[in-house]
Every structure is written in structure tokens, then in C-alpha cells.
């Protein structure tokens, strides 16, 4: 090989080495902070909550008159929430006019009746005293959503509302309590004293309420060719060039 050819090869090799070093040491400039328009993801968890409510008539007394028309207790209650799961009515009472030491006489009979918004009726009676419980369950199921996309928590809550169940919301339950006085008419004084009976009533309802939580983004692991180059030592990067036969 002529001396001039060797010089040209050496100069070319130097240029290649310098170019390789530049490529090896070069790092791309970080991207500018561009605005993101992708919506966030929010996890939706449905929590069961319980509350109490009173009917429109809280005068808990039912009259059984000797003369004229009887006056049963009548009331209405409407549950003002979406996603209503169940409503529970509990009535307790005790006859306030029972005579006799050994053998109790004149026990009243109380009848408790609830008519649901769909027209279904639950009714039960007890004599002398008792506790009656009615439960209307599975009115609405758990709303069928567990993830929504939105720009903020408040917007996510608005999105969730599209899945709310409104069955029986703000629709009245009709409540009726009647008393049949047990004191016989042939004992008029005692019968006149027993006008009916009072009772207590509690109403409890359960509903589903959403809890919203933003899902944090986990960036995928980087595995680009540039990252592989950065992990290599400088000698490893330049080895293929110096392994060329012309350098030996």
C-alpha cells in the first residue's frame, strides 16, 4: 500500500472515530412542556350509606271510636336520594289500657300497613304489644360503572351521575296504622277510657354514594436504542471501529 493511501485511511478513520464519539455523547434536548389534552381516569367506588327520615305526620296515634268513624293513623314518606337500595320501617307499641291482675283483658289489636310506590303492600297485626318490621330491599342495584374519564374530580362526579338509579326516588310510601280496641262495649266506662293507642315509628334507608379517586399514571419503562447506548462505556461504543483491520 502506498504511503498516501495509508494517510487517507488514517484520516478517514479519525473522522469516523470523532463522529462516533459525537454520536455517543450526544443527548437529545428535553421536549418543551406542551399542554396535555388527554383526560384523566378516575376510579369509582360505591359506598353504602344509611340515614333516617320521618313521615309527614308525626302524631303517632290511632283512634277507635265508639261513635262515628274510626281515625287510623295515615302518613306518607318519600326518600329524596338516588341509588336507593332499601327502606326499613320499624313500629313498636304497647296497649296502654289493659285491665286485670292475673288475666289481662281488653287487649287492643294494632294493624300496621305499608303501601310501596309500586303498589305492593305489606301488612301485619299484633295483639297487646309488639314490634313489626318491614323491609323493602333491592330497589336499585349498584350503578354499573367503576372508571370514568374526566378533566377534574368535579367533572368525574358529573359523569357518574349518568349511571344513577332513580327507582322510587321522591315517590311516597303510604303508611296506615289502625287499632281495634279490645275492651268490650258492655263495660262502657272502661271502653270510653280506651280511645285507641299510640305507637313509635322509625324509618331507615340505605343508598349508594360514589367515591372518586384519580388513577395515577405509571410511565412505561424506556428501552430505546439511545438508552442502550447511554448504558455502554465509551470503549464499548468505539470497539467496532478500532477492531477494523486497518488499525492493526
More confident residue, 174 or 17: 174
Report the pLDDT value the prediction gives residue 128, as an integer from 0 to 100.
87
**What is the Cα–Cα distance from 208 to 37, expressed in whole angstroms?**
32
CA geometry: angle at 234 spanning 232 and 235, to 5°? Answer: 100
Length of the chain: 248
Tell me what pLDDT residue 172 has: 98
pTM over 0.85: no
Q: Is 47 exposed, middle or buried (0-12, 13-18, 19+ CB in 10 A)?
A: exposed
Question: 153: closest CA among 216, 232, 212, 66?
Answer: 212
Work out the pLDDT band at 81, boundaries 50, 70, 90.
very high
Buried residues in 61-81 as b, exposed as e (16+ CB within 10 A): ebbbeeeeeeebbebebebeb
Q: Between 3-25 and 234-242, two packed helices, what is the crossing angle to 10 degrees? A: 150
Contact 177, 115 (CB under 8 A): no
- pLDDT for 126 equals 95
Q: Which residues are 129's β-sheet partners?
A: 94
Q: Nearest-CA neighbor of 165 among 229, 206, 123, 208?
A: 208
Greater pLDDT, 64 or 210:
210
Please give the helix or strand (H or E) that residue 2 lies within, else none: none
DSSP state of 162: G
Which pLDDT value is given to residue 71?
A: 87
Rounded Cα–Cα distance for residues 20 and 244 (Å): 14
β-strands 172-180, 147-150 pairing: unpaired
Q: Between 6 and 163, where is the model more confident?
A: 163
The pLDDT of residue 103 is above 60: no
Alpha helices in the chain (DSSP H): 3-25, 153-160, 188-193, 225-231, 234-242
Residue 163 in this model has a pLDDT that exceeds 60: yes
pLDDT of residue 8: 65
Mean pLDDT of the chain: 80
Predicted local distance difference test score (pLDDT) of residue 180: 85
pLDDT at 2 over 90: no
As a whole number of angstroms, the distance between CA 73 and CA 36 comes to 62
Both ends of the chain: CA-CA distance in Å? 14
Instruction: Dump pLDDT digits (tens) for 151-162.
Output: 999 999 999 999
Task: State residue 231 phi and psi, 5-degree precision.
Answer: -80, -15
Coil, helix or strand at residue 106 = coil
- Share above pLDDT 90 across residues of the chain, in percent, rounded to a whole number: 52
Whether 42 has a pLDDT exceeding 70, the answer reads: yes
Residue 177 confidence (pLDDT) above 60: yes
* Cβ count near 40 (within 10 Å): 17
Provide the greatest CA pair distance for the chain: 145
Amino acid at each position: 500500500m502506498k504511503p498516501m493511501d495509508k494517510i487517507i485511511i488514517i484520516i478517514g478513520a479519525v473522522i469516523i472515530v470523532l463522529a462516533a464519539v459525537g454520536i455517543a455523547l450526544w443527548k437529545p434536548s428535553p421536549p418543551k412542556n406542551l399542554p396535555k389534552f388527554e383526560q384523566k381516569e378516575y376510579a369509582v367506588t360505591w359506598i353504602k350509606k344509611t340515614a333516617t327520615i320521618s313521615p309527614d305526620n308525626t302524631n303517632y296515634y290511632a283512634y277507635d271510636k265508639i261513635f262515628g268513624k274510626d281515625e287510623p293513623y295515615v302518613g306518607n314518606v318519600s326518600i329524596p336520594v338516588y341509588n336507593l337500595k332499601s327502606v326499613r320501617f320499624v313500629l313498636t307499641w304497647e296497649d296502654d289500657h289493659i285491665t286485670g291482675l292475673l288475666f289481662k283483658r281488653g287487649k287492643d289489636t294494632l294493624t300496621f300497613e305499608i303501601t310501596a310506590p309500586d303498589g305492593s303492600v305489606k301488612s301485619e297485626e299484633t295483639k297487646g304489644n309488639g314490634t313489626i318490621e318491614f323491609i323493602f330491599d333491592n330497589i336499585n342495584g349498584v350503578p354499573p360503572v367503576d372508571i370514568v374519564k374526566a378533566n377534574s374530580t368535579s367533572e368525574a362526579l358529573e359523569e357518574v351521575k349518568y349511571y344513577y338509579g332513580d327507582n322510587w326516588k321522591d315517590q311516597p310510601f303510604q303508611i296506615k296504622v289502625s287499632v281495634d280496641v279490645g275492651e268490650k262495649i258492655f263495660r262502657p266506662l272502661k271502653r270510653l277510657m280506651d280511645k285507641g293507642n299510640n305507637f313509635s315509628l322509625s324509618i331507615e334507608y340505605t343508598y349508594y354514594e360514589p367515591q372518586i379517586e384519580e388513577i395515577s399514571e405509571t410511565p412505561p419503562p424506556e428501552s430505546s436504542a439511545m438508552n442502550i447506548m447511554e448504558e455502554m462505556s465509551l470503549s464499548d461504543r468505539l470497539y467496532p471501529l478500532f477492531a477494523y483491520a486497518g488499525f492493526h
